[in-house]
């Protein structure tokens, strides 16, 4: 936590929403493994305790320091990307967390992109927006992190990263999945501006 601050700063800038205790889904661009920690560190302390990052089980759920950070510090919601069991819906753990009143941090690209701007979003965000209309969807853009820690690097270079929070996006009635996802993505890109 303090190590993240020391290395990359993780300075928050709330441009479209205020940091309140409302239940939220923060969704952002994914360019490095540190995104999760950086976004989480940028939140005010009182929000951190009921905000849970969503992360891939195959990366985070391992013995050793990574698993300890994921479970004890971040309280991560693990998502199974491998889909061993075809009947299990990977979104179920997310629904469960939302029903218990937690806010979530998700990266709807599903994987890390080497570009500063996010690639196409996966549909999970849409399903959650439809099933939980009362939860605010906040677009987030994390600046600079793709330069601080390029894919494959193990040691982050200290560069200041700013985390920008935008205005909430709401799913319109009868809005098509593709339109909504594209609109959500455009909101993240606009924050990069």
Partner 1 sequence: MRLTTYETFLAVFCALALLSTVATGVGQWAAHRTMDPARSARLAVLNSRARASWSVLLIFTIAFALGKWALLVVFAGASYFALREFLSLTPIKSSDYWGLVFAFYFVIPAQYVLLGLGRASVFATFIPVYVFLLLPVIVAIRQDNERFLERIAKVQWGLMISVYCISHAPAIATLPIRGYEGRGPLLLLFFLLVLFFTDVLQIVFSAALDGRSLKSNPNKTVRGLLAGGAGGALIGTGLWWMTPFAWWQALIMSLVIVSTGFLGSVVLSAVKQSLGARQWDSEVVFTRGVLERLDAMTFAAPLFWQITRYFWVIRTDI
Q: Which is nearer to partner 1, 3 or 68 (CB)?
A: 3
Of 40, 43, 189, nearest to 121 by C-alpha is: 189
Alpha carbon separation from 78 to 47, 62, 123, 166 (Å, rounded): 20, 11, 17, 26
Least distance from partner 1 to the Cβ atom of residue 148, Å: 9
Least distance from partner 1 to the Cβ atom of residue 152, Å: 9
- CB atoms under 10 Å from CB of 110, counted, come to 17
Longest Cα separation, the chain: 46
Q: Which is nearer to partner 1, 88 or 153 (CB)?
A: 153
Q: Which is nearer to partner 1, 94 or 149 (CB)?
A: 149
Least distance from partner 1 to the Cβ atom of residue 160, Å: 4
Q: Which is nearer to partner 1, 101 or 152 (CB)?
A: 152
- CB atoms under 10 Å from CB of 79, counted, come to 20
Contacts with partner 1 by CB under 8 A lie at 9, 11, 13, 114, 144, 146-147, 150, 153, 155, 157-160, 162
Residue 83, H or E segment: none
């Amino acid at each position: 936590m303090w190590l993240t601050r020391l290395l990359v700063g993780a300075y928050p800038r709330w441009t479209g929403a205020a940091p309140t205790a409302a239940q939220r889904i923060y969704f952002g661009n994914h360019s490095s493994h540190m995104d999760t920690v950086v976004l989480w560190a940028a939140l005010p302390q009182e929000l951190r305790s009921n905000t849970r990052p969503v992360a891939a089980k195959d990366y985070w759920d391992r013995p050793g320091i990574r698993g300890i950070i994921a479970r004890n510090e971040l309280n991560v919601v693990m998502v199974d990307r491998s889909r061993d069991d075809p009947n299990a819906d990977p979104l179920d753990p997310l629904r469960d967390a939302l029903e218990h009143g937690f806010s979530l941090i998700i990266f709807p690209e599903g994987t890390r992109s080497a570009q500063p701007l996010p690639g196409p979003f996966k549909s999970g965000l849409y399903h959650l927006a439809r099933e939980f209309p009362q939860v605010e969807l906040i677009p987030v853009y994390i600046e600079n992190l793709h330069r601080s820690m390029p894919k494959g690097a193990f040691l982050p270079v200290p560069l200041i990263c700013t985390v920008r929070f935008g205005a909430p996006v709401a799913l319109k009635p009868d809005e098509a999945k593709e339109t909504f996802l594209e609109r959500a993505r455009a909101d993240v890109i606009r924050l990069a501006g």
